[in-house]
Amino acid sequence: MHRQSMRWRAVAALPLLLATTVGAAAQGLKSYDSSKPSFWAHPPPDWFLGDETEGQKGLAPPSGPATPTPVDELQTDLKKIKLPPGFRIEVWASGIPEARQMAWGANGTLFVGSFGATNVYAVTESGGKREVKTIIKGLNMPTGVAFRDGSLYVIAINKLLRYDNAEANLDNLPEPVVVYDDMPPYIAHGWKYLVSDKNGWFYIPFGPPFNIGIPPTSVSQVRHVDPKTGLAEIVALGVRNSVGGDIDPRTGDYWFTENARDWISDDLPSDKLNHITRLGEHFGYPYCHQGDLPDPKFALGHKCSEFTPPVVKLGAHVAPLGMKFYTGSMFPPAYKDNIFIAEHGSWNRHQYQGGRIERVIVDPDGKNARQEVFASGWITGQRDYFGRPDDILQAPDGSLLVSDDWAGAIYRISYAK
């Protein structure tokens, strides 16, 4: 029912899109024939990545190693990571291809999603030995995982799945229950992140299936979904590609990271940290970027003052993904309620940046924000990585776990005076 109506609205958005792309073609830019339904089933590859510009020509997303980095090499690599005094980083688990979002089970199992690997993993510990198991195979980009009331939740491109009594059945998970599937099938920017609130509802981001354009109405938003009933509300609009968020322990508000568009320049526009303060707030995409930069093609007469600006500009092409408020007591008191953001790093930039963990100190109302680099060093040379942080999770002892989908590993960052 919902799905049907969303399709119609997506189609209704097309005439506007056509008008703008044809207009652009007249200025010598590429144009797209978006009038056929097949366009939306399989948007052409350059549509997804965006119009190439002379300035950014030849830049393309790098692909990581095919196999997880062996543990001895990881240990050598981690020696190059810079941290503030007193902190150390170590390999916590390895051999986890394309590791993405992490979630703790109630009994200490760490569940880990993946990107293209189609897998969900469980990391268990017994007698001081850690073991990695692949517990689910064959899902379409199961990047997001969460654990709630004994059930493992996994979000793939267009399904939210629930595996009951998961921790007791790691070797033989039950058939999943589909708890929500009112979701479009676009793969590009269709990989998701799961954050559950105190009532058990999930915040779920929906990215547009392209770099820049007028989005179908089913995407460019964050929804708040009740897995018990399938009810959903749209809590944020005008969002490009968000693959991370968390609930502020001080207020219960949802904060989220957002990847800005590509192909403007090395230094514009900035990626964002956002804060939702009222239902249905619009964050600017595709009309306005970073709170103050009208899109050169898709501003369409809108002013940036119409939209909610970011709390923090994180920098261009840093690719902020998973984030967490720090609530532990292992780190120094100044870190309490700070936000840690895993930055996956650039592809559409001549000198990569990001590929690090950022620390943001900010008041509950979004005021007095400042940021600093917390952990860095995963970028090698101009445009290469030996690792790419993509999610952060606090461990029960107050240390931080960091997942890395490039090296297929999870690190632990701890503090001692």
Partner 1 sequence: MKTFLSVMAAVVLLPVAHAGAASGDIEAGRARAKICAGCHGANGISASPGIPSLAGQRDQFLQWQLVFFRSGRRPNLLMGPIITQLSDADIRNLGAYYASLPANTAPAGAKPDEAARAKGQQIVADHHCANCHTDSLRGERAAASIADQREDYLIKALTDYRSGARPSVGVAAMTEAASGLNDEEIVAIAKYVATFQPAEK
Residue type, 190: G
Task: Determine, following the binding rule CB under 8 A, whether residue 363 of this chain makes contact with partner 1.
Answer: no
In angstroms, what is the minimal distance from the CB of 223 to partner 1?
23
Task: Determine, following the binding rule CB under 8 A, whether residue 104 of this chain makes contact with partner 1.
Answer: no
Give CA–CA dist 165/170, Å, rounded.
9
Which of 20, 62, 159, 361 is close enough to bind partner 1 by CB under 8 A? 62
In angstroms, what is the minimal distance from the CB of 161 to partner 1?
19
Which of 28, 58, 127, 301 is close enough to bind partner 1 by CB under 8 A? 58
Closer residue to partner 1, CB minimum distance, 57 or 370: 57
Give CA–CA dist 60/63, Å, rounded.
9
In angstroms, what is the minimal distance from the CB of 118 to partner 1?
6
Per-position DSSP letters for 291-342, written without gaps between them = TTEE-TTT-TT--GGGSPPPSEEEEET--EEEEEE---SSS-GGGTT-EEEE
Closer residue to partner 1, CB minimum distance, 67 or 199: 67
Virtual CA dihedral for 10, 12, 14, 18, nearest 10 degrees?
-170
Cβ neighbourhood burial of 41 (10 Å; 0-12, 13-18, 19+): exposed
Closer residue to partner 1, CB minimum distance, 70 or 328: 70
Which of 20, 53, 265, 380 is close enough to bind partner 1 by CB under 8 A? 380
Q: Is the dihedral of CA 42, 344, 154, 97 positive or negative?
A: positive
Q: Which of 156, 33, 76 is nearest to 409 (CA)?
A: 76
Reduce the DSSP state of residue 385 to 3 states and report it: strand
C-alpha distance from residue 367 to each of 167, 275, 311, 312 (Å):
41, 11, 8, 10
Closer residue to partner 1, CB minimum distance, 67 or 368: 67
Q: Report phi then psi at 12, rounded to 5.
A: -60, -25
Residues from 151 through 210 that contact partner 1 (CB under 8 A): 187-188
Closer residue to partner 1, CB minimum distance, 55 or 364: 55
In angstroms, what is the minimal distance from the CB of 49 to partner 1?
8
Which of 23, 37, 61, 252 is close enough to bind partner 1 by CB under 8 A? 61
Which of 37, 73, 108, 165 is close enough to bind partner 1 by CB under 8 A? 73
Containing 228, the helix (H) or strand (E) segment is none
Closer residue to partner 1, CB minimum distance, 104 or 263: 263
Beginning with the edge strand found earlier in the chain, give each strand of the sheet holding 281-282 in spatial order: 195-196, 202-206, 221-225, 232-237, 281-282
Residue type, 44: P
Which of 28, 127, 381, 396 is close enough to bind partner 1 by CB under 8 A? 381
Task: Determine, following the binding rule CB under 8 A, whether residue 133 of this chain makes contact with partner 1.
Answer: no
Binding residues for partner 1, rule: CB under 8 A, are 38, 41-46, 48-49, 52, 58, 60-70, 72-73, 76, 97, 115-118, 137, 187-188, 380-381, 384
